[in-house]
């Protein structure tokens, strides 16, 4: 059975084409990460089923293969989330340097739990499971793809308060 | 698993395994090699026939000189390798993995869902006890699919189900999603299985080693006490199955490794067996009560006892045969006719046509082949002298280009479609040509969604391109064909530029497809009823045949012509003569020499010299008062014939109608005598699939109550019609078929019992049978294939201002034909319970209707109400509906206009108007 499918934006298609050039013609699926990142970017930071389906069609992949990728990578979201995405590393090095306290501070400050967004849609406190590869600067967090290291509660407040 | 050819040529590889020397076949893994030598290495994620994934690590072995252990399922040995599967290091690793996996099981014990969990088997074998690790958090069970229970608490994430769904069946539903400890098996977007796009083929269930996926409703831990090897009763793919029985009751079905299915099945084959236990089964003969006159009105099953009374077999058979005799004696043989069934065995079909021909004395015998591929067969016989397919479906693996035209194979030949999808995934060029965009189109390199009814101009334009660009195979044309000049002249008129606006496909695409088809090393064409069920069905098929002849794309592995047969035995029923113009093996009834031959074989000196009437002609002849009595075995013309009001009126008009069936079908409501017959698993016989494989269906259970096997009933009828037959066993009938049907003459019953299936033609005992035919010309008088050019004619009834939509019919994955079996199967009916019609969403919007609303569909002949389903695969202006719903019978709408050669009605095209019912 076929449901209605949507079209990717002109810009998204251009961007995907740019990435497709880097791979052999019969390896179109190699561009899936780039494609998902782009359409997510155009859609307020999250992917809808329709968008994932459109990417699958565009790249000639089974839809399920795109869903798998989207559910695997932590930088891809499949639900609406807050504007600013905050990921705190709680992996071993950061944990030893007090990451858990930072998490509690953040949860208190924003009034949400990890995995949730604030009701005003401003912040998204992401569930981060793996090391973000900045171990020597732990505890660390990442806000909208920017790394901040050697955190203290005060430093966290400073970072967040600067955001609009 | 298919044999790998290199295994027979490349040298064997010597290795040492647990201290003894062993030879591995080239390409074989360590695990497979050990297994072949009777040595068991534990394994879970490996399943024979599937790609080894090497993820569970329970098959670890130590290889001398290597630092780390190796997964034996994914490692091929090299010469001189020393492998240990039983030394302390290997065994310790194997046991630790088993212990870890077991710690994930509910209660850390055995699987609560399956009596044959492979994890439990290996854990017991290696003596793994209570795990030392904590248990994981367990997921909820998902019982939303009527066919399959999902209990992921027993899931070990071996991904066998993922490979089953994605690589074998290519349904692409199951995924392995999320990451880390959240990783799990999901359906689509982690949906409930019942609301996902799952088509319930059950391949994942068959693959699951722990019972995390199990047949729903199967009480866990029920072990079968008996297994009967048989064949699927539904479609022409001819999947081999096992009936698994407990206390003489079928509890489940699984796929057997047959040549046509390689252990795969679809939802019907796997879950559609329970119709045999439905309370509607007829368990005694019924005779119409006196004074209960027949009218055109359809009777419902609850009205059986009001119109009919139970009778003994003796009485029922006496009435059934007595009245037929009387009509024959009073009005002559031409006043009688018989419909046999493509669901019955070769033996049943053979005896039935023999009964009509020698007992009734007429050739008025036909069956539903008339309604499906009659036009294809007419074209094939006329051009290349044989109606058989040239190559089996699995030959797609050897093709380079695969055309599928007028066929929704994923719905109608689901297991055949899996091989096509496998081929597409393996890089073969799949070209799907169909007005409907089915799931197969997703796998196609070219998808031509042409306008319904424009097959001939479109195909002519392909040939036009081939000729114009000099891509035809001159050597082949010269050596093996005739009539090329005429074809050339006709196709010259159909340039792609001219045809493009007619068929809706761009000239460039038409040209490209023509080139791809013509130039490839091996191109094969599959077609279905989208080709045949038109008044120009024969023309459509002629064009496809010409395409193959023109390019020489026939007669080698991976190239040829394959009309996908619908019914499980439509090929066989036609082969053994259940058609009005031919005796067995397509030998013409009007050829005196042939007639003499059969007069001798059948000891019947007065065989009718005139060809008999076909299905639709018989209905007309009843209206004309010519045919007065009929014997219908296993067919349901009150649902399957076009323009049903007309067909039902005819059945009601018959002076005498005998219906032999397993249910009180719509047709049985018009009967005078109803004879309760046997369902597929209740009898033994041979069935010929679409690939020309003659396969043995074996009896698994007894017919219920006083229902009898069909062969017994036919023999009793024959006796009372004055025929003196003696067939003590099924195999005696089979042996007579061998005499009547030269292409089966080399088959023996004993060999069938041993090998389960044999390929026809098989002329001499001991021969392997011919998988690929037409390798050197054709069985025509000149040994050449004939080009028969065709010009464009439009459908009989075109849309107009009053009836602006095109109505087209077909089947649905879950339901068989008129639904008499599948709508009485709990699982199948639960998946598709209501009459649905598919519309393009734009058309629904025009009606201001939404999916789920009731829509009235009306043609000049009748009207029905169905539930709307939105489907962008349907073109705007087209309505599609399956003909299995008695409460909304699509054939009330269809047009009985016929193809002049095949006498097949135009099921695929008539004009309707639609309106929302408020
Ligand atoms: S039943 Fe078939 S389609 Fe459904 S999930 Fe299992 S393998 Fe896939
Ligand atoms: S594909 Fe056909 S033969 Fe195979 S299981 Fe399905 S209905 Fe039966
Ligand atoms: S452990 Fe936190 S960045 Fe590596
Ligand atoms: S069976 Fe070899 S890794 Fe699973």
Percent of chain B with pLDDT over 90: 94
Q: How many CB atoms lie within 10 A of CB B814?
A: 27
List B244's β-bridge partners, or say none.
Answer: B227, B252
Percent of chain B with pLDDT over 70: 99
Task: Among the bound ligands, name the one nearest to the CA of residue B202.
Answer: 1
Contact A68 B176 (CB under 8 A): yes
Q: Is the CB of A151 under 6 A from ligand 3?
A: no
Q: Taking 70 as the threshold, does the pLDDT of residue A105 lie above it? A: yes
Q: Is the separation of the CB atoms in A77 and A47 below 8 Å?
A: yes
Confidence of residue A5 (pLDDT cuts 50, 70, 90): low
Out of B265, B273, B681, mutate this one to test ligand 2's pocket (max ligand atoms within 8 Å of CB): namely B265
Maximal CA-CA distance, chain A? 55
Q: Which among B175, B180, B841 has CB closest to A64?
A: B175
Whether A78 has its CB under 8 Å from any CB of chain B: the answer is: yes
Contact A2 B437 (CB under 8 A): yes
Contact A4 B871 (CB under 8 A): no
Work out which ligand 4 atom sits closest to the CA atom of B73: 2
Q: How far is the CA of B81 from the centre of ligand 4 (A)?
A: 20
Strands B20-24 and B13-17 come out as antiparallel
- Classify residue B624 by its DSSP letter: T
Q: Is the CB of B686 under 6 A from ligand 1?
A: no
Cα–Cα distance list, B369 to B254, B259, B375, B741 (Å): 29, 24, 9, 18
Q: Is the CB of B840 under 6 A from ligand 1?
A: no
- What is the per-residue pLDDT across B111-143, written as a single tens digit (0 to 9) for each? 999 999 999 999 999 999 899 999 899 999 999
In the structure encoding, which two tokens stand for residue B885, read together?
């719903």
Q: Is the CB of B171 under 6 A from ligand 1?
A: yes
Q: Taking 50 as the threshold, does the pLDDT of residue B7 lie above it? A: no
- Cα B758 to Cα B769: distance, rounded to the nearest angstrom: 7
Confidence of residue B8 (pLDDT cuts 50, 70, 90): low
- Chain A positions touching B197 (Cβ under 8 A) are 1
Reported ipTM: the value is: 0.86
- What is the per-residue pLDDT across B796-852, written as a single tens digit (0 to 9) for each? 999 999 999 999 999 999 998 888 899 999 899 999 999 999 999 999 999 999 999
Q: CB within 8 A of B321, min separation 6: which ones? A: B658, B717, B720, B721
Query: Is A51 buried (19+), middle (13-18) or exposed (0-12) by CB count in 10 A?
Result: buried
Report the residue of chain B nearest A68, measured CA to CA: B177
The per-residue pLDDT for A130 is: 79
- Cα B224 to Cα B36: distance, rounded to the nearest angstrom: 27
In the structure encoding, which two tokens stand for residue B703, read together?
């017919």
Contact A68 B175 (CB under 8 A): yes
Q: Is the separation of the CB atoms in B380 and B386 below 8 Å?
A: yes
Task: Mutate one of A1, A65, A115 to test the B interface: name it (highest B CB count within 10 A).
Answer: A1
Cα distance from A163 to chain B (closest Cα, Å)? 30
Strand runs labelled E in B859-909: 863-870, 878-882, 895-898, 905-906
Angle at B65 between CA B63 and CA B71, to 5 degrees: 30
Q: Is the separation of the CB atoms in B86 and B22 below 8 Å?
A: no
Q: CB within 8 A of B911, min separation 6: which ones? A: B797, B798, B799, B800, B803, B804, B805, B806, B807, B859, B860
Report residue A102 CA to chain centroid gap.
20
- Chain A positions touching B176 (Cβ under 8 A) are 68
For B179-210, the three-class secondary structure string (H helix, E strand, C coil) is CHHHCEEEECCCECHHHCCCCCCCHHHHHCCC
List B913's β-bridge partners, or say none.
Answer: B858
**Mean pLDDT in residue range B328-345:** 97
Mean pLDDT of chain B: 95
- What is the per-residue pLDDT across B396-449, written as a single tens digit (0 to 9) for each? 999 999 999 999 999 999 999 999 999 999 999 999 999 999 999 999 999 999
Q: Taking 50 as the threshold, does the pLDDT of residue B6 lie above it? A: no
Q: Is the separation of the CB atoms in B421 and B443 below 8 Å?
A: yes
Q: How many CB atoms lie within 10 A of CB B134?
A: 8
- Cα B389 to Cα B451: distance, rounded to the nearest angstrom: 27
Maximal CA-CA distance, chain B? 93
Q: Taking 70 as the threshold, does the pLDDT of residue B496 lie above it? A: yes
Q: Is the CB of B237 under 6 A from ligand 2?
A: yes
- Classify residue B579 by its DSSP letter: B
Within chain B, how many helices (H) and strands (E) appear?
30, 39
- Around ligand 4, the residues with Cβ closer than 6 Å are B 43-46, 54-59, 71, 73
- What is the per-residue pLDDT across A25-66, written as a single tens digit (0 to 9) for each? 888 999 999 999 999 999 988 999 999 999 999 999 999 999
Report the residue of chain B nearest A62, measured CA to CA: B172
Q: How many CB atoms lie within 10 A of CB B487?
A: 25
Strands B805-810 and B878-882 come out as parallel
Contact B189 A72 (CB under 8 A): no
Q: Taking 90 as the threshold, does the pLDDT of residue A164 lie above it? A: no
Which residue's CA is the closest to the ligand 1 atom numbered 7? B165
Work out which ligand 4 atom sits closest to the CA atom of B46: 1
Q: Taking 70 as the threshold, does the pLDDT of residue B5 lie above it? A: no
Whether A65 has its CB under 8 Å from any CB of chain B: the answer is: yes
Q: Is the separation of the CB atoms in B461 and B450 below 8 Å?
A: no
Query: Is A78 buried (19+), middle (13-18) or exposed (0-12) by CB count in 10 A?
Result: middle
Beta carbon pairs, A and B, within 8 Å = 51
Q: CB within 8 A of A160, min separation 6: which ones? A: A84, A86, A109, A123, A143
Q: CB within 8 A of B364, min separation 6: which ones? A: B334, B336, B337, B338, B356, B580, B612, B613, B618, B627
Out of B147, B232, B411, mutate this one to test ligand 2's pocket (max ligand atoms within 8 Å of CB): namely B232
- Cα B588 to Cα B598: distance, rounded to the nearest angstrom: 11
- Cα B464 to Cα B503: distance, rounded to the nearest angstrom: 15
Q: Taking 70 as the threshold, does the pLDDT of residue B774 lie above it? A: yes
The per-residue pLDDT for B370 is: 85
In the structure encoding, which two tokens stand for residue B718, read together?
């024959």
The secondary structure element, H or E, covering residue B310 is strand B308-310
Whether A29 has its CB under 8 Å from any CB of chain B: the answer is: no
Report residue B665 CA to chain centroid gap.
22
- Cα B573 to Cα B142: distance, rounded to the nearest angstrom: 43
- Cα B543 to Cα B541: distance, rounded to the nearest angstrom: 5
In the structure encoding, which two tokens stand for residue A54, read together?
């459109």
Query: Is B301 buried (19+), middle (13-18) or exposed (0-12) by CB count in 10 A?
Result: middle
- Chain A positions touching B166 (Cβ under 8 A) are 62, 64
- Cα B668 to Cα B320: distance, rounded to the nearest angstrom: 13
- Classify residue B51 by its DSSP letter: P
Q: Is the separation of the CB atoms in A77 and A46 below 8 Å?
A: yes
- What is the per-residue pLDDT across B457-476, written as a single tens digit (0 to 9) for each? 999 999 999 999 999 999 99
Cα distance from B874 to chain A (closest Cα, Å)? 9
Strands B401-405 and B905-906 come out as unpaired
Q: Taking 80 as the threshold, does the pLDDT of residue B38 lie above it? A: yes
Angle at B382 between CA B618 and CA B465, to 5 degrees: 120
Which residue's CA is the closest to the ligand 2 atom numbered 5? B269
Cα–Cα distance list, A89 to A86, A127, B142 (Å): 10, 9, 34
- What is the per-residue pLDDT across B264-300, written as a single tens digit (0 to 9) for each? 999 999 999 999 999 999 999 999 999 999 999 999 9
- Classify residue B56 by its DSSP letter: S
- Chain B positions touching A71 (Cβ under 8 A) are 175, 177-179, 186, 190
- What is the per-residue pLDDT across B601-645, written as a single tens digit (0 to 9) for each? 999 998 999 999 999 899 999 999 999 999 999 999 999 989 999
Confidence of residue A2 (pLDDT cuts 50, 70, 90): very low
Whether A62 has its CB under 8 Å from any CB of chain B: the answer is: yes
Whether A5 has its CB under 8 Å from any CB of chain B: the answer is: yes
Contact B188 A63 (CB under 8 A): yes
Q: CB within 8 A of B407, min separation 6: which ones? A: B413, B434, B526, B527, B528, B529, B530, B531, B564
The secondary structure element, H or E, covering residue B710 is helix B710-721
- Classify residue B139 by its DSSP letter: P
Q: Which long-range contacts (CB under 8 A, 24 or more apart) does B507-513 make?
A: B507/B461, B509/B446, B509/B448, B510/B448, B510/B458, B510/B461, B510/B462, B510/B465, B511/B465, B511/B469, B512/B446, B513/B431, B513/B433, B513/B446, B513/B448, B513/B462
Cα distance from B643 to chain A (closest Cα, Å)? 28
Please report the domains of chain A, with CATH numbers, ordered by start residue: 3-72 (1.10.10.1590), 84-161 (3.40.30.10)
Cα distance from B111 to chain A (closest Cα, Å)? 27
For A69-136, the three-class secondary structure string (H helix, E strand, C coil) is HHHHCCCCCCCCCCCEEEEECCCHHHHHCCHHHHHHHHHHHHCCCCCCECCCCCEEEECCCCCCCCHH
Cα–Cα distance list, B133 to B91, B99, B105, B175 (Å): 19, 8, 11, 27
**Mean pLDDT in residue range B504-525:** 98
For B545-571, the three-class secondary structure string (H helix, E strand, C coil) is HHHHHHHCCCCECCEEEEECCCECCHH
Confidence of residue A1 (pLDDT cuts 50, 70, 90): very low
Q: Is the CB of A89 under 6 A from ligand 3?
A: yes
Q: Is the separation of the CB atoms in A68 and A20 below 8 Å?
A: no
Q: Is the CB of B569 under 6 A from ligand 1?
A: no
- What is the per-residue pLDDT across A110-148, written as a single tens digit (0 to 9) for each? 999 998 999 999 999 987 767 899 999 989 999 988 999
Work out which ligand 1 atom sits closest to the CA atom of B202: 1
Contact B175 A3 (CB under 8 A): no
The per-residue pLDDT for B2 is: 44
Which residue's CA is the closest to the ligand 1 atom numbered 2? B201
Confidence of residue B301 (pLDDT cuts 50, 70, 90): confident
Contact B872 A71 (CB under 8 A): no
Whether A115 has its CB under 8 Å from any CB of chain B: the answer is: no
């Amino acid at each position: 059975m076929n449901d209605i499918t949507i079209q990717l934006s002109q810009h998204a298609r251009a961007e995907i084409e740019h990435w497709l050039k880097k791979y052999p013609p019969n390896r179109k699926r190699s561009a899936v990460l780039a494609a998902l990142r782009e359409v997510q970017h155009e859609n307020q930071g999250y992917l809808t089923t329709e968008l994932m389906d459109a990417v699958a069609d565009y790249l000639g992949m089974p839809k399920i293969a795109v869903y798998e990728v989207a559910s695997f990578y932590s930088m891809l979201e499949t639900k609406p989330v807050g504007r600013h995405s905050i990921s705190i590393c709680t992996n071993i090095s950061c944990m030893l340097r007090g990451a858990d306290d930072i998490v509690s501070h953040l949860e208190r400050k924003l009034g949400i739990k990890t995995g949730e967004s604030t009701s005003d849609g401003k912040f998204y406190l992401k569930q981060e499971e793996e090391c973000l590869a900045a171990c020597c600067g732990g505890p660390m967090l990442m806000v909208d793809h920017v790394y901040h290291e050697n955190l203290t509660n005060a430093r966290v407040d400073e970072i967040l308060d600067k955001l609009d | 698993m298919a044999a790998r050819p290199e295994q027979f040529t490349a040298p064997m590889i010597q290795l040492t395994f647990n201290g003894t020397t062993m030879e591995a076949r080239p390409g074989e893994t360590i695990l497979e090699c050990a297994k072949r030598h009777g040595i068991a290495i534990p394994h879970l994620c490996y399943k024979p026939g599937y790609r080894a994934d090497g993820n569970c690590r329970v098959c670890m072995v130590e290889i001398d000189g290597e630092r780390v252990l190796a997964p034996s399922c994914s490692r091929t040995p090299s010469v001189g390798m020393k492998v240990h599967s039983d030394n302390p290091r290997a065994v310790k690793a194997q046991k630790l993995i088993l212990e870890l996996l077991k710690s994930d099981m509910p209660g850390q014990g055995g699987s609560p869902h399956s009596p044959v969990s492979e994890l439990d088997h290996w854990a017991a074998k290696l003596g793994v006890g209570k795990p030392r690790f904590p248990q994981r958090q367990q997921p909820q069970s998902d019982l939303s699919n009527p066919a399959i229970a999902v209990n992921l608490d027993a899931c070990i994430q071996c991904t066998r189900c993922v490979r089953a769904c994605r690589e074998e069946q290519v349904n692409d539903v199951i995924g392995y999603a999320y990451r880390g400890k959240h990783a799990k098996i999901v359906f689509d977007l982690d949906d409930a299985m019942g609301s996902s796009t799952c088509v319930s083929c059950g391949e994942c269930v068959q693959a699951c080693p722990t019972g995390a996926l199990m047949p729903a409703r199967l009480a866990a831990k029920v072990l079968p006490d008996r297994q009967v090897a048989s064949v699927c009763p539904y479609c022409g793919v001819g999947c081999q199955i096992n009936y698994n029985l407990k206390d003489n009751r079928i509890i489940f079905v699984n796929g057997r490794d047959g040549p046509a299915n390689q252990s795969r099945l679809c939802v019907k084959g796997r879950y559609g067996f329970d119709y045999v236990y439905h309370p509607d089964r007829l368990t005694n003969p019924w005779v119409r009560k006196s004074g209960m006159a027949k009218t055109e009105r359809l009777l419902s099953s609850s009205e059986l006892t009001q119109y009919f009374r139970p009778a003994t077999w003796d009485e029922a058979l006496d009435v059934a045969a007595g009245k037929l005799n009387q009509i024959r004696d009073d009005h002559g043989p031409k006043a009688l006719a018989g419909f046999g069934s493509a669901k019955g065995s070769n033996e049943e079909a053979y005896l039935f046509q023999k009964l009509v021909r020698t007992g009734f004395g007429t050739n008025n015998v036909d069956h539903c082949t008339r309604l499906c591929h009659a036009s294809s067969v007419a074209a094939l016989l006329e051009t290349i002298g044989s109606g058989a397919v040239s190559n089996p479906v699995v030959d797609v693996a050897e093709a380079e280009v695969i055309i599928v035209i007028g066929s929704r194979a994923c719905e109608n030949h689901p297991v055949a479609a899996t091989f096509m999808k496998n081929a597409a995934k393996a890089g073969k060029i799949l070209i799907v040509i169909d007005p409907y965009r089915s799931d197969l189109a997703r796998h196609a390199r070219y998808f031509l969604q042409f306008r319904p009814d424009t097959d001939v101009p479109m195909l002519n334009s392909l040939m036009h391109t081939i000729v114009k660009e000099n891509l035809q195979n001159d050597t082949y044309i010269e050596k093996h064909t005739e009539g090329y000049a005429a074809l050339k002249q006709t196709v010259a008129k159909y340039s792609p530029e001219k045809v493009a606006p007619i068929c809706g496909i761009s000239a460039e695409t038409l040209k490209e497809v023509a080139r791809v088809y013509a130039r490839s090393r091996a191109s094969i064409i599959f077609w279905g009823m989208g080709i045949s069920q038109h008044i120009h069905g024969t023309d459509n098929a002629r064009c496809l045949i010409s395409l193959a002849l023109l390019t020489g794309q026939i007669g080698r592995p991976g190239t040829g012509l394959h009309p996908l047969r619908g019914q499980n035995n439509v090929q066989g029923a036609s082969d053994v003569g259940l058609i009005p113009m031919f005796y067995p093996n397509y030998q013409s009834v009007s050829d005196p020499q042939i007639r003499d031959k059969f007069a001798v074989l059948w000891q019947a000196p007065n065989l009718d010299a005139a060809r008999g009437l076909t299905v639709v002609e018989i209905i007309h002849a009843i209206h004309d008062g010519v045919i007065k009595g009929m014997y219908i075995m296993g067919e349901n013309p009150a649902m399957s014939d076009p323009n049903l009001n007309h067909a039902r009126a005819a059945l009601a008009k018959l002076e005498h109608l005998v219906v032999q069936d397993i249910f009180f079908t719509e047709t049985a409501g018009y009967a005078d005598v109803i004879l309760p017959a046997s369902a597929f698993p209740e009898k033994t016989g041979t069935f010929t699939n679409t690939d020309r494989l003659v396969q043995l269906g074996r009896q698994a259970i007894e017919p219920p109550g006083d229902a009898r096997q069909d062969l017994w009933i036919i023999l009793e009828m024959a006796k009372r019609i004055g025929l003196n037959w003696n067939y003590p066993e099924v195999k005696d009938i089979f042996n007579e078929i061998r005499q009547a049907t030269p292409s089966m003459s080399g088959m023996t019953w004993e060999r069938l019992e041993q090998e389960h299936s044999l390929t026809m033609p098989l002329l001499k005992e001991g021969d392997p049978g011919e998988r690929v035919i037409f390798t050197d010309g054709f069985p025509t008088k000149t040994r050449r294939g004939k080009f028969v050019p065709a010009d464009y004619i439009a459908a009989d009834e075109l849309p107009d201002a009053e009836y602006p939509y095109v109505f087209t019919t077909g089947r649905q994955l879950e339901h068989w034909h008129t639904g008499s079996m599948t709508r009485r199967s709990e699982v199948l009916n639960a998946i598709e319970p209501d009459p649905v019609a598919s519309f393009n969403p734009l058309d629904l919007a025009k009606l201001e209707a939404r999916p789920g609303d009731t829509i009235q569909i009306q043609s000049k002949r009748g009207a029905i109400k169905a539930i709307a389903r939105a489907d962008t695969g349907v073109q705007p202006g087209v309505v599609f509906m399956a003909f299995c719903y008695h409460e909304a019978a699509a054939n009330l709408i269809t047009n009985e206009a016929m193809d002049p050669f095949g006498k097949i009605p135009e099921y695929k095209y008539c004009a309707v108007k639609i309106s929302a019912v408020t």
